[in-house]
Structure 1
Amino acid sequence: MNRLLNRNKSSRDSQRDYKFLREAVITVSKTKGLYAALLILAVILGAVVNIWPSLMLRRIVDGSLVSGSESLWKLAFLYLGAVLLGGVVDFIREISTTVYGQHVLLNIRKQMLDRLQNLPMKYYLGVPAGETISRFTSDLDAVNTLFSAGLVSALADLLKIISLLGALFILSKPLGLIAIGSLPVIFILSNFFRKRIYSRQKEVRKRVSDINTGIQEIYSGMKLIKIFGKENFFAERFEPSLEKHRLAMNANSIYDAWFPCIMQMVRASVIALALIVGAKNNLTSFALGLSLGTLAAATDLFIRLFDPIEAVASEIQTIQQAVAGLDRIKQFFHEPLELRTQSNDANNSFDVVVTSATDSSIVVKDVHFSYPNGKEVICDANMFVSAGSKVAIAGRTGSGKTTLMTLIAGLHPTKKGTITIGGHDPFQMPAHVRRRFIGIVPQTVQLFNGTIYHNITLRDDSITREQVIRAIETVGLGSTIEKLPEGLETLIGEGASQLSFGQTQLLSLARAIVTDPPLLLLDELTSGLDAITERQVLDAIRNVSGKRTIITISHRLSGIIDAEVVHIMESGSIMESGTPEELTSQEGWYSIYKRLEERGWRVS
């Protein structure tokens, strides 16, 4: 009984596992029903039409060439028509499969993108970017292969095999038995060679990857290589990769060369056996004495039979590989989504317009937090920030400053304790409210491919052009952008070659204040800037301050911007709090950091 229950549970789990695929297939079948119908029709017709040329060949030989009772021209045109019809059916099948498969792929990709956008921040911190990209590229390609070169092709080839065997049995039962007897031999040999060819091809791809890695290393480090005169050393170090690639290619070519030879020998042997058995002769007592047309048709059917048999062996392997990719996509869909309660408080209490005058007082109470599979980063942190105040959080690198900022920004839920802004949990704020309530300038500026305008608005249609112009003027970028060829419509990207590092910082600041948020979070904004650019950025921050609550994060006390209150963090806890004057007189962490910086030490 338990086994039965477990089996039923496993079946239900399996159905849920591939729910994304089932939904994609059902959706596409409803919206692209014509292609689905054409695909089914083409697969069935392909199996039937595939035997017509062979049967027509029998009629041509026996009815025209031997007896002369039928017109050769008429039969020739019928034969040509059967071949052309088979080509048209195959064409329709290929087109329908491609279109249908691409729409299924698009549907799954949209499901994945929707899920990706709703995954919690801990996913992005714990899963390498390359792994996620592989889910969207190579693994999805495997799903496409599952449709185009896997399931559909395998079904079409299996139907062709059945129809060809049926035609052979119609012509002659003994020839049909010979065909059935040859199936396992051809399938086993084909499977044997294809498995070994695939393993050799994997080795070749691995060696190509090694070569690409080596070339990339040499190319990116060429300046340093030339400076130290190490060209010969790197060339010699690169040679083993080339040699391994050569050996892998040789091993692969051996199987590539043997496979068609062996299969041709098997084909010839089977056809020869069929001719010996079927022909009128005195060599064998079991000769069937079939007509010349029947032998010609049987020979053509045997030739047509071998290709789908070999293809099925390849398609089974393709399906197995595609299922592996499908399983990895399934794992992606099993990633837990971000759990936000979406309570009435979160949805309804923010119906008012958020402005810079909205209450932005912050209370951090007994907060604990740790990243996935990591030690506790924030430990019993407590802090109060009154609305409209200018606060700094300082401490060494790794003390938890940036993590605390992301918690205040609502990017992570706390493990323990509470954080509120104006009495509300920032993690439970709707995204559109957070965008207007909290402005963030992260330590690493992220620019997206697009115009300067879209990099500031992030394609939020509710932000007007006047707001964008006001933001860039406030941060002091107005004259710089006016000098660009297209102004706000100038295309920039991740590299942002048109903008200096300091200008990208100012652009990030403009992005943060464009919605006029009451709370501004600045993470190491002046880190890495020269003195002149740092002064420009500091002036911009003073321009945007107004009545906003501003929290500045810095591991240098010199990076603290007009702070009324300073909080010193160490090992995830806030060790000291007070005005700069109070902390200086206390002879604690703040005064130690200050004396070290005055002596030229860098607190990091």
Structure 2
Amino acid sequence: MRRSSYPEQEVSTLNWHAFKLILPYLFEYKKRIALAMLCLILTKIASVYLPFILKDIVDTLDANNTDKQKSALVIVPLALVGAYGMVRLSIVLFAEIRDTLFGRVTERAIRRISLNVFRHLHALDLDFHLNRQTGGLSRDIERGTSGINFLMRFMVFNIVPTLLEIVMVVTILFVKYGIWFAAITLASIVIYIAYSIFATELRTRFVREANKADSSSNTRAIDSLLNYETVKYFTNEDFEAKAYDQQLSNWEQAKIKNRLSLFALNGGQALIIAIAMTAMLALAADKVAAGVMTLGDFVLINAFMMQLFMPLNFLGFVYREIKGSLANIENFFGLLAKKPKVEDIDNALELNLGGQGGAGFDAKSKTNSAADVDNVDFNTASIVFQDVSFAYHEKRPIIKGISFAVNAGEKVAVVGHSGSGKSTLVKLLFRFYDVSAGTITINNQDISQVSQHSLRTHIGIVPQDTVLFNDSLFNNVQYGCPTASKDAVLKAIELAHLSDFIASLPEGLETVVGERGLKLSGGEKQRVAIARTILKNPLILVFDEATSSLDSHSEQAILTAINEVAKSRTSLVIAHRLSTIVDSDNIIVMSHGEIVEQGNHQQLLALDGQYSKMWQLQQSSK
């Protein structure tokens, strides 16, 4: 089974806390909210006044028909009808002004919250992103933003005004018509709200089940599509379709339960409304028959009840949707509550190396061009691993108390069999994980004491598995330094030996590389990664199996480019092909998380140990 992207949150601890998280974003626009609330109050006052105009119209018509005074029929009722139309128009206008004022507040709040979540996701540690499910995560974010939109709009514009209208109507009925009319109205409203809350609370779990099934099916679909080639290689189209259908079946069953519970809720609400309306109208009809009330009073009470139960019925819908929205945004706000495992300490210092690394280069400048590294002193960065230990899980140590140094300007290579911990050293250097024990220092500065941003600014990497954005080749290279000029990007492309390849493409630099760069070969993607790193112009270079996807001819071309760029810079090379690191100042041989040999190429061959065996094996396989 594929795991969900993160643990489910408890509804009781998170649901209503969401309001506290949203309120600061709303209160940034206090004046707009105040004006919107004023329009809301005016709308409700006009709405409550409307049945009184209707009562006057009916009473006037009834009196005129009784007294046969046809002349008054033309003047008074028409004036009242005109007033009725004006009040209805004012209700609509006030509501539109209210929505317009509050719309800006809602949209800006959603924008701010979404941006905060996006930034927070990038601030979370690598372990979170390795365990996330992209499809489910994207669906949770989508539902979360739409849930926030619904929550803010309908909480303010439906629940609050409906409760205000209930207070006003019950008060009017009590003062004007007596205790029984007010009591029946209030009792029916209390029973209606209590039943709605009780039934909605019961069915919230079905909403959550449907959301979970929806996220799981979406995760499965996206996961399968991202691995399209693997599916084809193993002819597992039917297997993937059946697995997806199973997820859809779970979603279907959850939605059926959701719909049945909704039927029970709506049916109960309709019954309460029907009983209340019948009781009120029966009492009013009795009063009219007894001559205590006029026909206009009967119409007024009927209008009040209709006017009250229509938004009250909508209140039931709004409450259900608010509970659903709160369930939808559980994981959304759960993301904001999640703390990264790797964080900067308070008042973290900036990594100070001097030089101009990480600032990109200008192809026309003699001071920071990657093409003119001989004119720049990059000998400013030394790296020391001191008694470093690390484990992804406590019971499985990966790095076991290793120590080594990369002196300023040196090229140090790390080799070893798969699983020996080579690539983990890179993750620790970038501080994607904190070491379990020991320290890593750069120029005598503990990397755990400096900001992660300043640390990574000074380090450039060409990874083993290069992932590109679904954008043009030019933009993918420029990503190494988004502010770089076109000339600088072209120079970096030339140094990475990409120029001939790009010239052969019909769309050249504007060629879109596809999702995750799937339109390019492994070697082409690695050249883009090299160009990107050249453009970043860092003081420290890391090459993690940088030529693993290249043929021998391409490898030599790339090695030439790497040597040009790495000249006089501090370089750490993770290598599988030993032929690519024979010129290293120091070669570290790792096995099972420990350093077993260390020295330059000739020294290690003379030891006739593990490195020598690896060298002989690779030479004999050529």
Q: Secondary structure at the match of 1:338?
A: coil
* Change in CA separation of 1:600 and 1:339 when aligned onto 2, cut-off 3 Å: same
C-alpha contact (below 8 Å) 1:475/1:543 kept by paired residues:
no
Match of 2:34 among 19, 34, 37: 37
CA distance in 1, matches of 2:229, 2:122: 39
User: What is the SS of the residue equivalent to 2:314?
Assistant: helix
Query: Take 1:228 and 1:115, find their aligned partners in 2: how far apart are those partners?
Result: 39
My pick for the range that moved more, 424-433 or 79-88, is 424-433
Bigger shift: residues 553-562 or 123-132: 123-132
RMSD: 4.2
User: Structure 1 residues 512 and 242, CA, compared in 2 at 3 Å: closer, same or farther?
Assistant: closer
Which of 332, 339, 362 is 1:335 aligned to?
A: 339
The SS at the match of 1:380 is strand
TM-score (norm 1): 0.81
User: Which position in structure 1 is the counterpart of 2:486?
Assistant: 465
Structure 2 distance, partners of 1:246, 1:229, is 24
- Provide the residue aligned with 1:144 in structure 2: 149
SS at match of 2:469: coil
Trace 1:315-394 onto structure 2 (pairs within 5 A). Answer: 315-323=318-326, 325=329, 329=333, 332-333=336-337, 335=339, 338-340=343-345, 346=350, 349-350=352-353, 352-354=355-357, 355=376, 357-371=378-392, 375-394=396-415
Q: Which of 65, 85, 101 is residue 80 of structure 1 equivalent to? A: 85
Name the residue aligned to 2:366.
Answer: none
Distance apart, 1:588 and its partner CA? 2.4
User: Which letter maps to 2:170?
Assistant: L
CA 1:439 to 1:143, structure 2 compared with 1: closer, same or farther past 3 Å? same
Structure 1, 269-278 or 499-508: larger mean CA deviation: 269-278
8 Å contact kept, 2:379–2:570: no
* Superposition map of 1:428-507 within 5 A: 434=455, 437-458=458-479, 460=481, 463-484=484-505, 487-492=508-513, 494-496=515-517, 499-507=520-528
SS in structure 1 of the partner of residue 85 of structure 2: helix
Partner of 1:407: 428
Structure 1 residues 241-291: Cα deviation after superposition (integer angstroms, max 9, x where no partner): 7777776666555555565555444433322322222225799xxx67311
Separation (CA, whole Å) in 1 of partners of 2:37 and 2:44:
11
Query: Do the aligned residues in 1 keep the contact of 2:136 with 2:215 (CA within 8 Å)?
Result: no
Distance 1:223 1:148 in 2: 45
* Distance across 2 between alignment mates of 1:359 and 1:226: 48
Give the match's secondary structure for 2:517: coil
The corresponding residue for 1:294 is: 297
Moved more, 159-168 or 137-146: 137-146
> 1:551 aligns to what SS in structure 2?
strand
Amino acid at match of 1:161: I
Structure 2 counterpart of 1:306: 309
**How many Å separate the matches in 2 of 1:329 and 1:85?**
39
Aligned counterpart, 2:61: 64
* Deviation for aligned residue 1:292: 0.3
Post-superposition Cα deviations, 1:380-410, rounded to whole Å, max 9, x if no partner, equal 1111223333322011222221121233345
Paired residues for 1:41-60 under 5 Å:
41-60=38-57
Given the alignment, which residue of 134, 148, 158 partners 1:153? 158
In the alignment, is residue 26 of structure 1 matched against residue 16 of structure 2? no
Q: 1:276 to 1:341 in 2, by over 3 A?
A: closer
Deviations 1:513-567 (A, max 9, x none): 2244343210011223344443443343234343333322124535546434321
Q: Deviations over 1:444-468 (max 9, x none)?
A: 2132344434333327465343332
Name the amino acid aligned to 1:81.
M
Cα 1:71–1:561 change in 2 (3 A) is: farther
CA contact (8 A) 2:224 2:240 kept: yes
In the alignment, structure 1 residue 509 sits paired with structure 2 residue 530: yes
Q: 1:223 to 1:335 in 2, by over 3 A?
A: closer
Note if contact 1:58-1:296 (Cα within 8 Å) is conserved in structure 2.
yes
Deviates more, 1:574-583 or 1:247-256: 247-256
Matched, 1:580 2:601: yes
Cα deviation for residue 332 of structure 1 reads 2.4
- Report if the CA contact (8 A) 2:166-2:308 is conserved: yes
Q: 1:340 to 1:456 in 2, by over 3 A?
A: farther
Gaps of 5+ in 1: 1-13
- Distance in 2 between the 1:170 and 1:462 partners? 72
**Among 83, 90, 106, the residue aligned to 2:95:** 90
Worse-superposed segment, 592-601 or 209-218? 209-218
Matching of residues 88-167 of structure 1 within 5 Å? 88-121=93-126, 123-124=128-129, 133=138, 136-167=141-172
**What's the offset of the Cα at 1:492?**
4.2
What is the CA distance between 1:136 and its match in structure 2?
4.1
Corresponding residue for residue 592 of structure 1: 613
SS at match of 1:476: coil
What displacement does 1:314 show?
4.0
- 1:297-327: CA deviation from partner (whole Å, max 9, x where unpaired): 1001111111333333444444445555368
1:557 and 2:578 correspond = yes
Shift of 1:196: 5.9
Aligned-partner Cα distance in 1 for 2:481–2:106: 33
Share of identical aligned residues, percent? 26
Mind listing any 5+ residue stretches in structure 2 that lack a counterpart? 1-14, 66-71, 358-375
The answer on whether the counterparts of 1:513 and 1:544 sit within 8 Å (CA) in structure 2 is: yes
Q: Residues 65 and 555 (structure 1 numbering): CA distance in 2 closer, same or farther, change over 3 Å?
A: farther
SS in 2 for 1:521: strand
Match of 1:180 in 2: 186
- Between the two proteins, the alignment pairs up a number of residues equal to 579
